[in-house]
Structures are given as C-alpha cells and as structure tokens.
C-alpha cells in the first residue's frame, strides 16, 4: 500500500492544540482537510487559528502566499459527523477516555466508507481496545503525533491486535509523505517513547527521594554530563506534573503495576499540592516572576593529584586517561592490569559508577557516566561517610583540572546518568525482544520524540552490550525490590555477545 493520494480528503476530529496541529500538517502536505468538533463553533474557530498560523509561515518564508491561499481554500470546518463522508482518513484527537473514543468511532463507521482509514492520536490508551468496538477493526491504527505536531517530526504508527498490515503500511507511508519520520510499533502501554522514557523521570525522582541530590543538581548532571537537552525535573515542570504523572500511572497500571514503572510518591505530593509546573507558576521549581532559579551543587576548588595510577582501561571512561595526561597530570600504569579504576595518591580509588555503593568499600569515590567526557562540563562524584577527605578532595581536584565542574552527591548506587541510561537500555531491549519495534525504530523514536542525545541501542553499542546488565545486576543486589532486576531480554542480549566472543 502507498500513501493516500493528495486529492483524498482528510478529517480531524477534535480541534484542540493537537487536532489543529495534525490538521495543519495534512493541509500543508496538500490534502483537503475537514475539521469537526462536538462543541459548537470550535471547528470554525480552529480553522481561523490555522489560517493565522499559515500567515506566519508565509512571514517566515516557509510558504508562499499562493500556497497559503490554496491551503486555506482546502480547509473546511463542518458542523456534524455527516460532513466527514467521503474522507479517506479520519484522525481523532479528542479527550483521553476510552468510552468517548469508542463511541466516536462507532458513529464514524456509519458515515465513512469501509475503506476509510481510521486513526487515533491517543498517547495512553490501548489502540486495540479502541478499535475493538468497530465493525471493521482492521482499518484502525494509532497515529501518535508529538506536540507541537507541525514542528516535531516523529509519528508512532501503532498496530492494534486487529489492525491489518495494509492499513498500517498506508498510515506509515502517508505520515512519511507528510514530511514526518514514522516508526512502526505494536500496541503496548506507552508505545515506544512513553514506555522506554519512564526511567528518565523515575530515576531522577528516586535519587531525590533518597536525598542523593536536589532537583537542580540532578538536572545539571543529566544535561552537562549525560548530554540530555533538559533534566527530568525541569522537563516535567514544562510538560506539567499532572500530565507526566498521569502517563506514568497509566503505563504502570497497564503493566499490572510492574515495579519497574512504579510512580513517584514525591511527584504525587507535588500534584496533590497543585504545583503542576510552569502552568501554575510552581512545580519542582518556582517559575513565578522574579523567582530565583536554584543553583546546582558545585564543589569548591581543590588541588589536583600529582599523579594517578591506572588499573585497567576504565572501560566506557577510557577517554579520561588522555584528558588527564593533557592536563599535565602523570598517569602511571599499574603492574597488574586488574580491575578498571584509578588509584589516587591518598591510596583511595576512583571508580566509574558500577551500581555498587561506595559504602561497601574502604576508600572509594565513584564518578558518573558521561556521554562524552571531553565535552562534558560537569561530573558527579559520590562517596561514603567513611571515605577519606583526602581521597574526596583529590577526586574533585582531578576533574576540576580537566575543566569540569564537580557535583558531589550522596552515595547512590548507579549515581544519576549511569542508572538512568542502564534502565532505558533495559526497557528498550525488552521492547524489541517482545516485538514492539525494531532497534532502529526505537533509537529513532527516542532521539526524535524526546530529544535524547543517543538512542538506547546507540548507547549500548558505545558502552558495550553487557554494560547495562552488569550495572543493573549490582543495583539489584544492593536494592532487591525488583525495580533494578535486569529483564530476561537484557540477559539474553548481553549473553549473545558473550557467546559470540567465546566462539573460536
């Protein structure tokens, strides 16, 4: 099946922000577009708003005046569902309630032809459940756009249990013809993005709840070390705490309260207090006029060590050895190449976050994972109460000598970036193993849908396929609640590499 012909009318039901955005995308692509909303007058108001947006596109030289005028002529608000007869595609963007959506599509089936493609833009409900109410469920798909739809390229094309392959292909090719980047996925709670992204929020909140670090510090480490565009606390303030928690709760419930998706009590209290983020003026941060943004914890100046002893190659942090040498600090090679750590002049050890607590060892400072140690502007370090002051100072001074700001956080297993990335990789591997999507589509979805610096499988290839499993194994031993137990899929994923390496 190919994309819908541009002469085919497209309908959008629901004229809120998302509905208007989807209508604009189809309109600019060249389709006749019909708008319907159950509330009287809203469809015509939405048409006027879309017209104003087309004017702005002309001002920005993204459309010509003639293209704008032609698009306006193709846009038609209608007063009832009967006005959608003859459409080849109807996209629904109404309230996130299963009964409302099912009732809508049952009514649509009495209006449109049996070969009309029906699509829902739901982000949290089951595509299978919505389509289950239809007389012809095979032509029903999910077309999950991301807000704002005209700007964000990703579209998740979701096949429900009864969706015909031809219908999914036609929806996919149509989204691509509209200039979007579609990814195919099976109907699973959260689809790709909202399923795989849960740890990004959950682990930040967990570090906070353990009093490992404050929100400003966690966000700074995620941005400046992890390479994420925004930290979890500032991002959820932007999204809306109620919206973010609702998605988390929906995914958790849909997975039968799987502990790996468990919502945050701290976020629940924030929602209960009415501090929903930017839209209410306060969330994790105070967004009211004149409010000062809290600064992340940054350690004061410390003297760098004269030398370090490298035991092993530091694994994913191997680049640090070159940076240390470039900073004029001597790197001595250990006589026995065991482990993967740096030994400081104090006798203490500096170890990449591995899922263990510093408290389990004598004199150890852990440092967090970075997307790129050369480009990172901040590094987090953690230590136990009994870690010597000299070892902590030398660890801080070492990273400061490399031009990094240093945030000292609590003794949290997996620290901040490492635990977050490991859990994202685990959920991504499990999703692929369960046939939800391909590795390529998962990576594309996470890069385009939530602006991750790397897709989970890109991270895994960089870190080593066994890295996430090893870190989560250690975290599960420290905290055996089940949240950090590596999935069976991740064990298989890592072991497949081990076995290939062991084959003569």
To which H or E segment does residue 11 belong?
strand 10-13
Structure tokens that stand for 306 in this block: 């004269």
**pLDDT at res. 502:** 43
Distance CA 427, CA 442 (A): 10
Structure tokens that stand for 77 in this block: 């608000």
Comparing CA positions, the residue from 65, 74, 64 lying closest to residue 30 is 74
CA dihedral 265→266→267→268, nearest 10 degrees, is 50
Q: Is 123 one of the catalytic residues?
A: yes
To which H or E segment does residue 245 belong?
helix 241-254
Residues linked to residue 140 through DSSP beta bridges, in sequence order: 118
Structure tokens that stand for 348 in this block: 């203490």
Q: Is 144 one of the catalytic residues?
A: yes
CA 40 remoteness from chain centre: 37
Distance CA 53, CA 55 (A): 5
Structure tokens that stand for 250 in this block: 């929906």
Distance CA 122, CA 130 (A): 10
pLDDT digits 0-9 by tens, 237-274: 999 999 999 999 999 999 999 999 999 999 999 999 99
Distances (CA, A) of 301 to 262, 383, 385, 395: 39, 18, 20, 11
Task: Tell me if residue 262 falls in helix, strand or coil.
Answer: coil
Q: Is 61 one of the catalytic residues?
A: no
Distance CA 81, CA 14 (A): 11
Comparing CA positions, the residue from 482, 261, 470, 477 lying closest to residue 493 is 470
Distance CA 145, CA 125 (A): 14
Helix residue spans in 121-192 (DSSP H): 127-131, 165-177
Distance CA 61, CA 357 (A): 56
pLDDT digits 0-9 by tens, 334-365: 876 667 899 999 999 999 999 999 999 999 99
The string of DSSP letters for 340-393 reads SEEE-TTS-EEEE--S--GGGSSSEEEE---S-TTT-SEEEEEE-TTS-HHHHH
**pLDDT at res. 402:** 98
**pLDDT at res. 335:** 74
Comparing CA positions, the residue from 155, 48, 52, 235 lying closest to residue 448 is 155
pLDDT digits 0-9 by tens, 224-237: 999 999 999 999 99
For residue 502, count CB atoms less than 10 angstroms from its CB and return exposed for 0-12, middle for 13-18, buried for 19 or more: exposed
State the catalytic residue, choosing from 126, 194, 250, 346.
194
pLDDT digits 0-9 by tens, 440-482: 999 999 999 999 999 999 999 999 999 999 999 999 999 999 9
Distance CA 365, CA 384 (A): 8
Task: Tell me if residue 409 falls in helix, strand or coil.
Answer: strand
State the catalytic residue, choosing from 31, 144, 287, 366.
144
Q: Say what percent of the chain tops pLDDT 70.
A: 98
- pLDDT level of residue 500 (50, 70, 90 thresholds): very low
Distant-in-sequence, close-in-space partners of 359: CB < 8 Å, separation ≥ 6:
384, 385, 386, 411
Phi-psi region for residue 343, left (φ > 0), alpha (ψ -120 to 50) or beta?
A: beta
Task: Tell me if residue 21 falls in helix, strand or coil.
Answer: helix
Tell me the whole-structure pTM to 2 decimals. Answer: 0.95
**Mean pLDDT of the region 484-492:** 97
Scored b (16 or more CB within 10 A) or e, 281-312 reads ebbbbebeeeeeeeebbebeebebbeebbbbe
Q: Do 98 and 160 meet the contact criterion of CB atoms below 8 Å apart?
A: no
pLDDT digits 0-9 by tens, 154-189: 999 999 999 999 999 999 999 999 999 999 999 999
Q: Is 194 one of the catalytic residues?
A: yes
State the catalytic residue, choosing from 109, 156, 203, 430.
156
Residue 72 has pLDDT above 50, yes or no: yes
326-306-409 Cα angle (round to 5)? 85
Structure tokens that stand for 388 in this block: 């010597």
CA 141 remoteness from chain centre: 22
Q: Do 456 and 464 meet the contact criterion of CB atoms below 8 Å apart?
A: no
Q: In whole numbers, what is the pLDDT of the chain averaged over residues?
A: 95
Structure tokens that stand for 155 in this block: 């579209």
**pLDDT at res. 496:** 83
**pLDDT at res. 503:** 39
Comparing CA positions, the residue from 318, 311, 411, 416 lying closest to residue 365 is 411
Distance CA 183, CA 442 (A): 8
192-116-139 Cα angle (round to 5)? 45
Q: Do 118 and 106 meet the contact criterion of CB atoms below 8 Å apart?
A: no
Distance CA 25, CA 133 (A): 28
Distance CA 491, CA 220 (A): 32
């Amino acid at each position: 099946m190919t994309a819908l012909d541009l002469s085919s009318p497209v309908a959008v039901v629901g004229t809120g922000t998302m509905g208007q955005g989807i209508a604009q995308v189809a309109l600019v692509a060249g389709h006749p577009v019909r708008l319907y909303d159950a509330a009287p007058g809203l469809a015509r108001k939405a048409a006027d708003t879309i017209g104003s947006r087309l004017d702005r596109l002309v001002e920005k030289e993204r459309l010509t005046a003639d293209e704008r005028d032609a698009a306006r002529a193709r846009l038609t608000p209608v007063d009832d569902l009967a006005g959608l007869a003859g459409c080849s595609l109807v996209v629904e963007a109404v309230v996130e309630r299963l009964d409302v959506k099912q009732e809508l599509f049952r009514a649509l089936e009495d209006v449109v032809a049996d070969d009309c493609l029906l699509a829902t833009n739901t982000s949290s409900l089951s595509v299978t459940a919505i389509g289950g109410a239809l007389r012809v469920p095979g032509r029903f798909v999910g077309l999950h756009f991301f807000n704002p739809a005209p700007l964000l390229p990703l579209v998740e094309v979701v096949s429900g249990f009864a969706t015909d392959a031809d219908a999914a292909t036609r929806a996919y090719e149509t989204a691509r013809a509209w200039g979007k980047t579609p990814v195919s996925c099976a109907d699973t709670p959260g689809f790709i993005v909202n399923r795989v992204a849960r740890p990004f929020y959950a682990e930040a909140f967990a570090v906070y709840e353990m009093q490992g670090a404050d929100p400003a510090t966690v966000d700074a480490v995620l941005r400046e070390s992890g390479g994420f565009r925004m930290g979890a606390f500032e991002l959820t303030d932007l999204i809306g705490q109620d919206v973010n928690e609702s998605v988390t709760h929906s995914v958790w419930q849909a997975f039968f309260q799987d502990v790996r998706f468990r919502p945050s009590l701290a976020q629940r209290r924030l929602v209960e207090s009415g501090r929903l983020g930017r839209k209410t003026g306060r969330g994790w941060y105070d967004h009211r006029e004149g409010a000062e943004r809290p600064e992340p914890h940054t350690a004061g100046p410390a003297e760098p060590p004269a030398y370090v002893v490298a035991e092993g190659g530091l694994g994913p942090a191997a680049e640090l050895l070159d940076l240390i040498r470039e900073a004029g600090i001597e790197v001595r090679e250990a006589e026995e190449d065991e482990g993967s750590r740096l030994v400081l002049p104090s006798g203490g050890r500096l170890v990449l976050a591995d899922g263990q607590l510093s408290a389990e060892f004598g004199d150890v400072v852990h440092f967090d994972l970075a997307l790129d140690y050369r480009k990172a502007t901040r590094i987090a370090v953690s230590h136990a109460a009994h870690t010597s002051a000299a070892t902590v100072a030398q660890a801080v001074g070492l990273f400061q000598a490399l031009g990094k700001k240093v945030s000292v956080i609590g003794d949290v297993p997996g620290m901040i970036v490492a635990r977050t990335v490991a859990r994202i990789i685990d959920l991504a591997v499990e999703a692929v193993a369960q046939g939800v999507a391909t590795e390529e589509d998962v990576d594309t979805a996470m890069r385009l849908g939530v602006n991750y610096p790397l897709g989970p499988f890109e991270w895994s290839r960089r870190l080593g396929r066994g890295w996430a499993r090893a870190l989560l194994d250690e975290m599960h031993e420290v905290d055996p609640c089940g949240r950090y137990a590596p999935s069976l899929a991740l064990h298989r994923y890592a072991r497949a590499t081990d076995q290939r390496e062991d084959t003569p």
